[in-house]
Every structure is written in structure tokens, then in C-alpha cells.
Amino acid sequence: MEERFAGWGEETGRAKQHFVAISYDIPDDRRRGKMCKLLKDYGERVQYSVFECVLRPDDLKRLRERLKPLLVLEEDDVRFYRLCESCRRKATVWGRKRRRRWRDAVVV
């Protein structure tokens, strides 16, 4: 597994959150279903094989650890794209625009 983003999830002492788009191409129906079910716990499905998530570094690390056993590296492809806040705000959505439900905490 290529770990170009190995530093992600190492800042566990911080409460900072990151916007992460996750895409996957998994030919096996059963593994693909498990991947989808797991990703629904972390973010919102925006296309058939694409999720958008807002994650703290420790959540991203936990997600990656939970995903690894589901993958067959010779067949599957999973990509994590971390976007800065400025880039996220510049994103354009054409077509069905959905209301996002981010897991931000509100302290009153």
C-alpha cells in the first residue's frame, strides 16, 4: 500500500478537523458494500463511490486502520484527498446539490 500521506492522523492531540474526499474503485461487490457501510459512519456519500468527510486527525487515522483489512491491494483502489479550507470553499457542485450535515460540535 502506497503511503504518500503517512503523516496524516499523527496530530492526535489537536482538535483540528480536515475536509477529506475519499474515492474508491473496488470490483468485489461484498468488499465494496463493506467499504460503503464503513464510510457512512464517517461522512456523506456524494456519488456512488465518493464520500466527503470532515474528520479530526485521530478519526482519519482510525478510519484508515479500519479500511485496510477490507482491501485487496492487487485489485482495489482507495484514494484520500485532503482539501484545505480555502480549496473546499472554492469547490463547485453542478446538478443535485445536497445539504451537507457536518459533525461540527456546538458548545452553548
- Sheet bearing 77-83, strands edge to edge: 43-47, 50-55, 18-25, 77-83
Q: Is residue 103 part of a domain?
A: no
Residue with more model confidence, 14 or 99? 99
Q: Is residue 28 part of a domain?
A: yes
Q: Specify the number of domains making up the chain.
A: 1
For residue 7, what pLDDT is reported? 45
Q: What is the pTM of this model?
A: 0.73
Q: Is residue 48 part of a domain?
A: yes
**Residue range of the domain that includes 59:** 18-89
User: Could you tell me which of 89, 108, 72, 23 has the C-alpha nearest to residue 100?
Assistant: 89
- Which tens digit of pLDDT belongs to each residue from 22-73? 999 999 999 999 999 999 999 999 999 999 999 999 999 999 999 999 999 9
CATH number at residue 47: 3.30.70.240
Of all residues in the chain, the percent with pLDDT exceeding 70 is 75
Mean pLDDT of the chain: 81
Q: Is residue 34 part of a domain?
A: yes
Q: Is residue 99 part of a domain?
A: no
